[in-house]
Amino acid sequence: MKKKKNFLRNAIILLFCLLMVISPLLILLPQAQGSYSARLATNAYQLGNDLEVTTIRLEMPEIPEGLSQFTLELHYDPAVFNRGSINTGAIYPSLGTKTNDSSGTITITYQGDPITSAGIGMSFELQLKANAPSGTTTVRGEFTEAKSGDTDISVSLTPVDITVKNQAPSANADATLSSLSLDGYSLSPNFSATTYNYTCSVPYEVSLIPVSAVQYSCAFDSTAVSVSVPDVLQVGENTITVHTTAQAGNTATYTITVTRLEQDYGLSQNNYLSSLTVGGTQVELSKDKTSYTVAFEKIPTDLQIQAVAEDENATVDVKKPSNNTVRIFVTAENKEIREYIIHLLETANEDAPQGSLQLLSITGAFDLPLQENVYNYTLVVPYEVTSLEIQGVPSREEDTVEITGGDALQVGENTVYITVTTPEEQTTQYTLQVTRLAEGESLTGQGDDGGSAPLWIRIVTYCMVLLAGVAIGGVVGFFVKIKF
């Protein structure tokens, strides 16, 4: 009996000693692991040509309490997706993120303060590649090194499957441009993709001009564009072409006609006089008339002439009288010159023969000084001229002038008679043979100075010189060569 009691006591003492030894060791053993589950979800389980982006969400119904460390790896097929943006919610500042697109891996690491349930939300954007193969692709994830304090956490992550229906797009048949412009200059009309012809003007200083042509484009194909531009813009019209070829082979050509302006373009061409006073006589100016006659009893030796240009930018040059003729040159801002001729007549010239004319004036055209002893003149007028207003100025003031004809010109030859009568009723008759051209017949010729002038003016001058030569030289065979 006594032995049994001693055994029981010894057993209790031994057990107590064992507990004292084992208890510290139990504290050093790792605690039991917690097990959790999570899943990957998406807003688009099927992708194709019209839907190209999917957002992968991490859904974790139960957040491990005190989760303070983890590594999350997301795996996707790099032949199907490119990674887009990553949204890690409130825990972003403490995260480390690393992406490897070639292997299709996104790695998220965290180590910091315990995460609350409000901070675990994460999403990952994946962009469908243009040439991604059709079929089913799986996006999967893996949690490793997850801890809550010193406690290891196990998280199983359910993957997500996505179906890809990526049919190859049809070839682009649109060969139009989305924009077309010239650097610093406007097109007329304004650009429209289906308008193919344009015009543009540039100043003389512009000899080169850049062209911007933007093609139609999309994610899968584009339009080829070729531009043909002159190396140097010439004065006048220049052609720029833009040729486009769509992927399907359709073509289009845009044409821009660029006009490079003359060097003096924009400068005034006005070389007309607005007023003319000769020796106190106000000359009545006609827009297209440049030859005038001013009569004096005696031409002043200190003749005063005031000539004012219409355009303030034009200059006026009055030459000194020579052989009873004054020449006035009006130079426009663009350097074009108009010459006015003023014939000075003396009505009290006692040396002038009685019954003679010193001038024929054709209103709106010119004044023609006459030669002494020359009585027959010719004139050619265009078809549009149906009548002539003619005035004759006698050499002596007391003589009178009567003009018959010239008011109803027929096509072909017409004769105008100018009769000068003296106070003693002696008469002298001049004739002006007027030829009216047929409709469509031209009378514009090229002058020696390279400029053009009405042929009918030069014909009168020619006849005047010819007849004067005959009268003065008395030579039967008298020839004058004039270039018309």
Q: How confident is the model at residue 94 (pLDDT cuts 50, 70, 90)?
A: low
Rounded-to-integer distance, Cα 38 and Cα 57, Å = 10
pLDDT class of 476 with cuts at 50, 70, 90: very low
pLDDT at 222: 61
The top-scoring range by mean pLDDT among 101-105, 114-118, 240-244 is 240-244
For residue 236, pLDDT over 70 is answered with: yes
**Whole-number pLDDT of residue 3:** 56
Q: State the Cα–Cα distance between residues 203 and 260, nearest whole angstrom.
A: 6
Which of 343-347, 348-352, 471-475 shows the lowest per-residue confidence on average (mean pLDDT)?
Answer: 471-475
Question: What is the distance of C-alpha 425 from the center of its chain?
Answer: 75
Separation CA 116–CA 99 (nearest Å): 26
Segment 37-54 mean pLDDT? 75
Residue 304: other Cβ atoms inside 10 A: 9
Q: In the predicted model, is pLDDT for residue 162 greater than 70?
A: yes
CB-CB neighbours of 463 under 10 Å? 20
Lowest mean pLDDT among 31-40, 167-176, 296-305: 31-40
Q: What pLDDT score was predicted for residue 101? A: 65
Distances (CA, A) of 273 to 326, 330, 343: 15, 7, 17
pLDDT in tens, 27-37: 444 443 567 77
pLDDT of 1 above 90 = no
Which residues have a Cβ under 8 Å from the Cβ of 56 and sit 6 or more positions away? Answer: 40, 41, 42, 74, 123, 124, 125, 126, 139, 160
Mean pLDDT of 448-468: 41
Average pLDDT over residues 286-313: 88
Cβ neighbours around 288 below 10 Å, total: 9
* Predicted pLDDT of residue 369: 67
- According to the model, what pLDDT value does residue 451 have? 36
Q: Does the pLDDT value for residue 64 go beyond 70?
A: yes
Measured CA to CA, the distance from residue 318 to residue 306 in angstroms comes to 9
Q: Tell me how crowded residue 198 is: count the other CB atoms within 10 A of its CB.
A: 22
**Continuous segment of H or E residues that includes residue 10:** helix 2-28
Mean pLDDT in residue range 245-264: 88
* Residue 204 confidence (pLDDT): 87
CB 443: neighbour CB atoms within 10 A? 17
Per-residue pLDDT, averaged over 275-282, amounts to 93
The answer, yes or no, to whether residue 174 has pLDDT greater than 50, is yes
Q: 176-228 pLDDT, tens per residue?
A: 898 999 988 999 999 999 999 999 999 888 999 899 988 776 534 566 889 99
Alpha-helical regions (H) of 210-366 = none
Question: What pLDDT is attached to residue 169?
Answer: 57
Answer for the pair 379, 462: CB distance below 8 angstroms, yes or no.
no
**Model pLDDT, residue 277:** 94
Inform me whether the pLDDT recorded for 408 exceeds 50. yes
Q: Are 224 and 234 in contact (CB under 8 A)?
A: no
- 158 neighbors 39 (Cβ within 8 angstroms): yes
**For the ranges 126-140, 348-362, 469-483, which has the lowest average pLDDT?**
469-483
- Which value, to the nearest 10 degrees, does the dihedral of the CA atoms of residues 58, 64, 69, 75 take? -30
C-alpha distances in Å from residue 278, one per residue of 308, 314, 338, 396: 12, 20, 18, 21
Please report the pLDDT score of residue 350 as a whole number.
65
Alpha-carbon span 483 to 128, nearest angstrom = 82
CB 262 within 8 A of CB 235: yes
- Tokens 């107590």 locate to 16
pLDDT at site 363:
63
pLDDT computed for residue 304 by the predictor: 93
Q: Which of 45, 46, 48, 247 is nearest to 132 (CA)?
A: 48
Higher-pLDDT residue of 173, 75: 75
Joined together, the tokens standing for residue 460 give 């009168």
298, two tokens: 């005696």
Instruction: Single out the residue of 422, 429, 294 nearest to residue 374, CA to CA.
Output: 429
Predicted local distance difference test score (pLDDT) of residue 428:
92
What average pLDDT does the chain have? 77
Backbone angles phi, psi at 117, to 5 degrees: -65, -25
pLDDT at 430: 92
Torsion, CA 21, CA 23, CA 29, CA 33, rounded to 10: 160
pLDDT band, residue 257 (cuts 50/70/90): very high
Number of H helices, E strands in the chain: 2, 33
Non-local CB neighbours of 409 within 8 Å, separated by 6+ positions: 381, 385, 386, 387, 388, 434, 436
Q: Give CA torsion, residues 41, 45, 47, 53, to 10 deg.
A: -20
Q: Enumerate domains of the chain plus CATH numbers.
A: 34-165 (2.60.40.680), 177-260 (2.60.40), 268-346 (2.60.40), 355-484 (2.60.40.2340)
- Asked if residue 10 has pLDDT above 50, the reply is yes
d(CA 147, CA 34): 9
- List the end-to-end C-alpha distance of the chain, in Å, as a whole number: 167
